[in-house]
Amino acid sequence: MEFINLKKQYITFQKEINEKIQKVLDEAQFIGGEEIQQFEEKLAEYIGRKYCISCGNGTDALELAFMALGVGDGDAVFCPDMTFIASIESACTLGATPIFCDIEKRTFNLSPSDLENKIVQVSKAGKLTPKVVVMVDFLGNPADIEVIQKICEKYNLLLIEDAAQAIGAVYNGQKCGSFGDISTTSFFPSKPLGCYGDGGAVFTDNQEIAECIKSLKVHGKGKSKYDNIRIGMNSRLDTIQAAVLQVKLKYLNNEIEIRQEKAEKYNKELMNYVDIPQITINSVSSYAQYVLLLKDVKNRNKLQNYLNERNIPSLVYYPKTLHSMKAFEKYKIEDNYPNSTVYSQCNVGIPFSAYITEMEQNKVIKSIIECITDGI
């Protein structure tokens, strides 16, 4: 059994994907060109944003966003304590200080009340300037977006939506990737909209920010690539990847619908045995991962072994909180993060994709119930 069945997805769209890739090879346009432009336009329309700027990966997308917002020394950047390090990493490279906030117990997303606490704390301490909030649609589940937007307005902070896991997800009838001053995503193969290598994109409705990011991603170009007006970077989506993504984007909504049905089946059959994921109200999750919570770390490890013995893959998303990582040692973080800590010890992702079969799901469900009712 595959954890995420990318092989089956490829076989499903094989003919169309191969033709698209062949077209790029025939035209020998490997960087830039029509495929890139078309893909950016189609994705901007899908998401409901004025501008979509493709780039090398989701981490670059965030770095471009931080650079465009002028993040640097002395700035405080807030983000959830439970996310992939890339959500905050490049803000730190640019000299900002990360301020981690606890998550909500059941949606696993940034806790608005802890965010507000941390903003007030940082302001009172007076050493750093609160500047940007990064909200993450964790595991594809939309953040508590409206509440976080209000907090950003109240304290005059800029907002970035890290939608790396949430393309296809919906909040209040609006697509994830369309919120905040800037939103970003990743096309890493296992994400809800994945390519066949690395890729990413930045979204905004603000023309000035869009122009700045278009310049930053090409070495800070001015009128030309050889007339540079700022220090930037080199970050491009390959043309072949844009071709693959154009095909996959056409089928994304259909896949998101199927994911709802598959998640519903897991929910229904597992809810009496484990904590099933709770989706944010008025939202549709893209279910980048289907993650359960066990009672404690011992139960989680026992379940993983039990599944492993039956050739059922499982993965922990993620095993460590950000605040406890060596990478952030120098910030001397003293706060406690009870919810993200419990989450890191109890979570386990089980096989999931639009291509998982009913038989496979039944096997996973049966094994989990057996393991749980076996006295753990």
Ligand X SMILES: *Cc1c(COP(=O)(O)O)cnc(C)c1O
Of 112 and 199, CB closest to ligand X: 199
Part in contact with ligand X (CB under 6 A); list of ranges 3-11, 57-65, 141-149, 231-239: 57-65
Q: Is residue 235 near ligand X by the rule CB under 6 A?
A: no
Residue 185 C-beta: closest distance to ligand X, Å: 8
Give the pair of three-digit tokens for residue 219. Answer: 């070495």
Neighbours of 151 (CB within 10 A): 20
Residue 125 C-beta: closest distance to ligand X, Å: 28
Residue with tokens 């011992």: 298
Among 58, 80, 142, 277, binds ligand X (CB under 6 A): 58
Residue 90 C-beta: closest distance to ligand X, Å: 10
Among 57, 241, 246, 345, binds ligand X (CB under 6 A): 57
Of 89 and 181, CB closest to ligand X: 89
Give the pair of three-digit tokens for residue 1. Answer: 């059994």
Q: Is residue 140 near ligand X by the rule CB under 6 A?
A: no
Task: Give the N- to C-terminal CA distance of the chain in Å, as an integer.
Answer: 25
Of 33 and 197, CB closest to ligand X: 197
User: Residue 325: which region, alpha, beta or left (left: phi > 0; alpha: psi -120 to 50)?
Assistant: beta
Neighbour-count burial for 7-24, b at 16+ CB within 10 Å, e otherwise: eebeeeeeebbeebbeeb
Residue 199 C-beta: closest distance to ligand X, Å: 7
Residue 190 C-beta: closest distance to ligand X, Å: 8
Question: Helix, strand, or coil here: 349?
Answer: strand
Q: Is residue 277 near ligand X by the rule CB under 6 A?
A: no
Residue 56 C-beta: closest distance to ligand X, Å: 8
Part in contact with ligand X (CB under 6 A); list of ranges 74-82, 104-112, 162-170, 258-266: 162-170
Q: Is residue 152 near ligand X by the rule CB under 6 A?
A: no
Of 121 and 190, CB closest to ligand X: 190
Give the pair of three-digit tokens for residue 42. Answer: 């189609």
User: In DSSP terms, which residues pair with 375 in a beta bridge?
Assistant: none
Site for ligand X in 84-123 (CB under 6 A): 84, 86-87
User: In DSSP terms, which residues pair with 53 in a beta bridge?
Assistant: 202
Q: Is residue 286 near ligand X by the rule CB under 6 A?
A: no
d(C-alpha 17, C-alpha 84), whole Å: 30
Say if CB 151 and CB 133 are below 8 A apart.
yes
Residue 350 C-beta: closest distance to ligand X, Å: 18
d(C-alpha 225, C-alpha 213), whole Å: 14
d(C-alpha 192, C-alpha 252), whole Å: 8
Of 164 and 270, CB closest to ligand X: 164
The amino acid at 253: N
Q: Which residues contact 25 (CB under 8 A, 6 or more apart)?
A: none
Q: Is residue 355 near ligand X by the rule CB under 6 A?
A: no
Burial-class residue 63 by CB neighbours within 10 Å (0-12, 13-18, 19+). Answer: buried
Give the pair of three-digit tokens for residue 69. Answer: 């917002």
Question: Closest CB to ligand X belongs to which residue?
Answer: 58
Residue 352 C-beta: closest distance to ligand X, Å: 15
Question: Helix, strand, or coil here: 46?
Answer: helix
Whole-Å CA distances, 213 to 48, 61, 70, 124, 232? 18, 9, 12, 33, 9
Whole-Å CA distances, 319 to 294, 295, 341, 342? 13, 15, 9, 10
Part in contact with ligand X (CB under 6 A); list of ranges 83-91, 215-223, 257-265, 364-372: 83-91
Neighbours of 227 (CB within 10 A): 9
- Total residues in contact with ligand X, by rule CB under 6 A: 15
Residue 65 C-beta: closest distance to ligand X, Å: 11
Part in contact with ligand X (CB under 6 A); list of ranges 51-59, 122-130, 210-218, 251-259: 51-59
Q: Is residue 339 near ligand X by the rule CB under 6 A?
A: no
Part in contact with ligand X (CB under 6 A); list of ranges 80-88, 170-178, 245-253, 333-341: 80-88
Among 188, 266, 328, 352, binds ligand X (CB under 6 A): 188
Q: Which residues bind ligand X (CB under 6 A)?
A: 57-59, 83-84, 86-87, 136, 162, 164-165, 186, 188, 198, 200
